[in-house]
Amino acid sequence: MPYTPPGAPGFCPAGISLDPTANVISLVQAETRRQDDLRIAHQNLQAQEILRLDDLAKLREQHAAELRIAESAGIDAIRPVDQGNVTRASEVAAAQATALASQLQVSAEALRAQVEATRITTADTLAAALSPIQNDVSVLREVQFRQQGEKGAVTDQHDLRNDTRNFVVALMGVLILAAVLIAPHIH
């Protein structure tokens, strides 16, 4: 055996010198196996991660579908309630409109009755006030007619003018009196 100084490549303490190539080859093969094993483990880990992500995506999709169904059911449940509220509100509005219409009719009828009563009272008051005036006008006419008969034909024309004038004045007096009596009753 050839002499190898201590610490030289291939030195073995037993004094046997090994070929460094076989040792290196063995180490390289072990390293290669280790890298292959790591690569396979990494591929397995990636495949498991992909499966996990696929399962998670399916689970999220299923949950989203369940949420959509639940939300749709909730909306479908709310809709009849809203329709019922709208129906109820329209019924209440119709009832209020009917009540207001009947109230308006009663109020209008009461107002008509009050106006009619005021009209009758005013007419009676006016008739009572005008009756003496009308009697006086009749008496005046009689007197005028008697005076006309006593006067001659010449004075007939003159009296006719006076009668017309007196009649117009009396009529105006009656109208003014009627206006004075009616005015306080008109609102």
The Cα-based distances of 130 to 99, 115, 139, 169 in angstroms read 46, 22, 14, 15
Q: How distant, in Å, are the alpha carbons of 109, 117, 181, 183 from that of 114?
A: 9, 5, 19, 18
Q: Which token pair is 182?
A: 């009616």
Contact, 181 vs 126, CB < 8 A? yes
Q: d(Cα 86, Cα 183) in Å, to the nearest integer?
A: 54
Residue by residue, pLDDT tens for the chain (187 residues) are 444 445 555 555 555 555 668 888 888 899 999 999 999 999 999 999 999 999 999 999 999 999 999 999 888 888 888 888 889 989 999 999 998 888 989 998 999 999 999 989 888 888 888 888 888 888 888 888 887 776 655 555 666 677 788 888 888 888 888 888 887 877 6
Is-above-0.75 flag for pTM?
Answer: no
What is the chain's length? 187
Q: How many CA atoms lie within 13 A of 117 on its CB side?
A: 6
- Amino acid identity for residue 62 in this structure: Q
* C-beta separation of 94 from 86 below 8 A: no
Instruction: Determine the pLDDT at residue 54.
Output: 95
